[in-house]
A and B are shown apart, each in its own frame.
Chain A
Amino acid sequence: DQQVKQNSPSLSVQEGRISILNCDYTNSMFDYFLWYKKYPAEGPTFLISISSIKDKNEDGRFTVFLNKSAKHLSLHIVPSQPGDSAVYFCAASANYGQNFVFGPGTRLSVLP
């Protein structure tokens, strides 16, 4: 049973518009969440994190929203750029930073 789900395997967005990537989780013990970006044949790159005591965290063009009651988080990228085209992984941890569980990823394509 997948504890972290990213139900959209792919997403296409026009350059300059907003990209919204969604992530759902089932384990109510998760208290720390991260988003990673991954290019082919490279390791993931950390983007942004959020702990369960917050419902929003912003860093430049990236904003993560957490809805604990719905067990849902989302990553907003605005404005989207062609260089944002990559696979985005949502990851969750039940003990503040150890043993992350990764979602299956969403491939984002930003079209010029």
Chain B
Amino acid sequence: GAVVSQHPSWVICKSGTSVKIECRSLDFQATTMFWYRQFPKQSLMLMATSNEGSKATYEQGVEKDKFLINHASLTLSTLTVTSAHPEDSSFYICSASLRQGYEQYFGPGTRLTVT
């Protein structure tokens, strides 16, 4: 099946620094990638949708200047949390869609802790 990886799997950073999370589709080309955030014991919240070569579409309430998304190739999307604060601590998950498929294949997630 389609495999999506994320790196790093966990990261601890200091308040005010920036953190980059990578999402890669390993065995397929993903024209569309999605970034989700999950708070403890809550559902997945879609943050943004990114299409290769174009600007990401952010969901209402998500700060585009704080959560920078780049989808530079068909196999790589990055999420950069800029000037991180403790409230940004969360579990970030990406997913990717096959060109002709409907399903989203999810990465394993990245646990971000901002101290």
Q: Which residues of A contact B (CB under 8 A)?
A: 32, 34, 36, 41-46, 49, 51, 89, 93, 96-105
Does B103 lie within 8 Å of A43, measured CB to CB?
no
Does B102 lie within 8 Å of A49, measured CB to CB?
yes
Contact flags B83-115 to A (C-beta < 8 A → 1, else 0): 000000001010101000111111111010000
Size category, B interface: 20 to 34
Contact flags B20-46 to A (C-beta < 8 A → 1, else 0): 000000000000101000000011111
Q: Which B residues are in CB contact (< 8 Å) with A104?
A: 42-43
Q: Which residues of B contact A (CB under 8 A)?
A: 4, 6, 32, 34, 42-46, 49, 91, 93, 95, 97, 101-109, 111
- The winner among B32, B43, B102, B103 for most chain A CB atoms within 10 A is B43
